[in-house]
Structure 1
Amino acid sequence: MLDRLHTDSVAEALDIADAHHWTRQPPRSDRARLRFLMSRSTDLATLASRLNTTPQALQRILTNQVRNEALSQAILKDVIRLWQPRIRRRAHRVLAEQQHSLWVQFRGWFGFNAAAGSSDDGRVRSLSEALHHPYPARLLEARHSGASERELRSIVADGIGESYFRVSTGRKGLHLVRLTDVDYIEFSY
């Protein structure tokens, strides 16, 4: 189920990483997943707007009339976002309290403003780096508080910048580290 998911969103990538800590698997069929989402939503119209579709399209899934691959992916991502919140919180608390690293693998434009021709100048990179303390805790706290994708990417960029460039955030210039045009991003812990 998770091996089909690839994302360029930090928030979705964190949700997918959390899925490796589940104690029970979520529903497997679109119909069962949709019933789960409906139990967490106020009404079908609200759920439909969150999934960028119409209530009629969701009703067709509930009656097994149609299968839409794009809608199936949206339903799956929303189930992953909402499944086992207590297990997710516990895993995040352990990660933050024990100061473990959070591994990130991505392909995207990454770097900071450096001297012309420097290897530190921004360019498309495929990297796998560890985010060390305090970045995992900051990232997960920002995710729980509903931070925007831009804010999450900024935290990831600072953490990777410190790890990759071996420069602390206190040094002049590192705050200019940027992570943009992400093709995919993946976390593990």
Structure 2
Amino acid sequence: MSDHEQQQPAPGRGKVLEALARAERKVFTRPAPKSAKAQVKFLLTRAKGSTKAVAERLGVSRRTVERYRVGKLTTPQKRLQAALVEETESDWQPQVRAQARAQAATSRGMMVEVTAYFGFTCTGSSDDGRERQITTDISPTYVKQILELQEAGATEEDLHPILAEAITESYFTEWGTRADGLRADFTAVSSISFRF
């Protein structure tokens, strides 16, 4: 998958949420199922055999799910292929993902690499807002807030202020050692990635 494809958010998901999902996929210890048949079988296992539940998740009929399960259909259309990948990876290795998230939220934090428009508010600030590419650590305190918001179903717009605050603290104010009172907001996110 190219960098451009990786930066494109899934339908209904913004760039920040997609970047968090990509970061979780990178901690997998085994690859997720790749074939449509294997993905459907995995989803059926997670749904305790309910073709109705899997069909609803994928937005297809129960009959279609059954056809993929037995191998009568093997090559899904783009929309279904994307849904299979998304749903399989969202359920794949939950304990590994939970462990990585817990470590990031309590001790390690995580790294963010973002290209976005940053604007500033501060007494005496002469630095006009502009697009910047920033790579910096996010402290466990902010990681915990970000992950809690994500799990609570936060939107992209809900995550921007907490990310801006986390980046301000680590990158612009260097953990409170300079630029006291500086506040940065970011918009127009061109690209973003996280690393647990």
TM bin, normalised by shorter chain, reads 0.7 to 0.9
Q: Secondary structure at the match of 2:26?
A: helix
Say if 2:42 is the partner of 1:36: yes
Aligned to 1:23: 29
- Matching residue within 167, 184, 192 for 1:185: 192
User: How do residues 1-189 of structure 1 correspond to structure 2 at under 5 angstroms?
Assistant: 5-6=6-7, 7=9, 8-40=14-46, 43-49=53-59, 54-55=60-61, 59=65, 62=68, 63-64=72-73, 66-98=75-107, 100-113=108-121, 118-119=126-127, 121-166=128-173, 168=176, 172=181, 174=183, 177-189=184-196
CA contact (8 A) 1:60 1:66 kept: no
- Cα distance change, pair 127–173 in 1 and its aligned pair in 2 (3 A): closer
Query: How big is the shift at 1:94?
Result: 1.8
Distance 1:117 1:134, change over 3 A: closer
Inter-partner Cα distance in structure 2 for 1:11 and 1:142: 10
Q: Contact 1:16–1:80 (CA<8 Å) still a contact in 2?
A: no
**Which ranges of structure 1 fall in alignment gaps of 5 or more residues?**
none
Q: Give TM-score scaled by structure 1 length.
A: 0.75
Question: TM-score if structure 2 supplies the norm length?
Answer: 0.72
Runs of 4+ aligned residues of structure 1 deviating over 6 Å after TM superposition are: none
Sequence identity percentage: 28
Structure 2 distance, partners of 1:73, 1:17, is: 18
- 1:107 partner letter: T
CA distance in 2, matches of 1:56, 1:19: 28
- After superposition, the C-alpha distances for 1:60-79 in whole angstroms (9 at most, x for unaligned) are 98243644335423432332
| Per-residue deviation, residues 27-86 of structure 1 (Å, max 9, x unmatched) | 01133223433444552452134xxxx448965982436443354234323322221111
Change (3 A) 1:125 1:79: farther
Q: Deviations over 1:141-184 (max 9, x none)?
A: 2223332222222221111111221164xx5452xx32222222
SS of structure 2 residue aligned to 1:105: strand
Counterpart of 1:80, as a letter, is E
Aligned length: 179
Q: Which has the larger radius of gyration?
A: 2
Following the alignment from structure 2 to structure 1, what is the Cα–Cα distance between the partners of residues 106 and 123? Answer: 38
Q: CA deviation at 1:91?
A: 1.3
- With over 3 angstroms needed to count, the CA separation of the structure-2 counterparts of 1:38 and 1:134, relative to structure 1, is same
Secondary structure of the equivalent of 1:146? coil
Q: Aligned in 2, Cα 1:109/1:75: closer, same or farther, shift over 3 Å? A: farther
Alignment-mate amino acid for residue 5 of structure 1: Q
Coordinate RMSD, CA, aligned: 3.2
